[in-house]
Amino acid sequence: MDLQSIKNRFGIIGNAPALNFALNTAVQVAATDLTVLVVGESGVGKEVISQIIHATSSRKHNPFIALNCGAIPEGTIDSELFGHEKGAFTGAVDGRKGYFETVSGGTIFLDEIGEMPIGTQARLLRVLETGEFIRVGSSKVQKTDVRVIAATNRELLEFAEKGRFRQDLYYRLSTVPIRMPALRDRKEDILLLFRKFVVDFAEKYKTSPVQMDEEAKNLLINHPFPGNVRELKNLAEQISVLSTSNVINAIALKKFLPERMANRMPMLASEAGHQSEFANEREILYKLFFDMKKDVTELKKMFVEILQNPSLTSHAANFAKENLMSDFHTPNTESTSVLSPSKGMQPISSNQPSFIQTASGHPVLLKDDELFQHEEIEEELNIMVIEKELIIKALKKHKGKRKDASIELGISERTLYRKLKEYDIDDL
Domain boundaries, the chain: 3-181, 184-256, 285-371, 382-423
- Give the right CATH number for 3-181 from 3.40.50.300, 3.10.20.340, 1.10.260.40, 3.90.1170.50: 3.40.50.300
SS (H, E, C) the chain: CCHHHHHHHHCCCCCCHHHHHHHHHHHHHHCCCCCEEEECCCCCCHHHHHHHHHHCCCCCCCCEEEEEHHHCCCCCHHHHHHCECCCCCCCCCCCECCHHHHCCCCEEEEECHHHCCHHHHHHHHHHHHHCEEECECCCCEEECCCEEEEEECCCHHHHHHCCCCCHHHHHHHCCEEEECCCHHHCHHHHHHHHHHHHHHHHHHHCCCCCEECHHHHHHHHCCCCCCHHHHHHHHHHHHHHHCCCCEECHHHHHHHCCCCCCCCCCCCCCCCCCHHHCCCHHHHHHHHHHHHHHHHHHHHHHHHHHHHCHHHHHHHHHHHHHHCHHHCECCCCCEEEEEECCCEEEEEECCCCEEEECCCCCEEEEECCEECCCCCCCCCCCHHHHHHHHHHHHHHHCCCCHHHHHHHHCCCHHHHHHHHHHHCCCCC
Handedness of CA 239, 241, 245, 251 (dihedral sign): negative
Q: Which CATH superfamily is domain 382-423 in?
A: Homeodomain-like (1.10.10.60)
- Residues 336, 325: contact at Cβ < 8 Å? yes
Helix (H) or strand (E) holding 338: strand 335-340
Q: What pLDDT, on the 0 to 100 scale, is given for residue 331?
A: 46
β-strands 344-349, 335-340 pairing: antiparallel
For 366, the 3-state DSSP assignment is strand
- Taking the C-alpha atoms of residue 363 and residue 351, their distance in angstroms, rounded to an integer, is 17
Which CATH fold topology does 184-256 show?
Answer: Helicase, Ruva Protein; domain 3 (1.10.8)
Q: Would you give the end-to-end CA distance of the chain in angstroms?
A: 61
CA 272, distance to chain mean position in Å, is: 14
Local mean pLDDT, 10-residue blocks, the chain (428 residues): 89 94 96 96 95 96 95 91 90 89 96 94 95 93 96 93 93 94 95 95 92 94 94 95 90 85 38 43 62 72 69 58 50 43 43 46 46 43 75 85 83 83 76
Which residues, in sequence order, are bridge partners of residue 111? 68
For 283, the 3-state DSSP assignment is helix
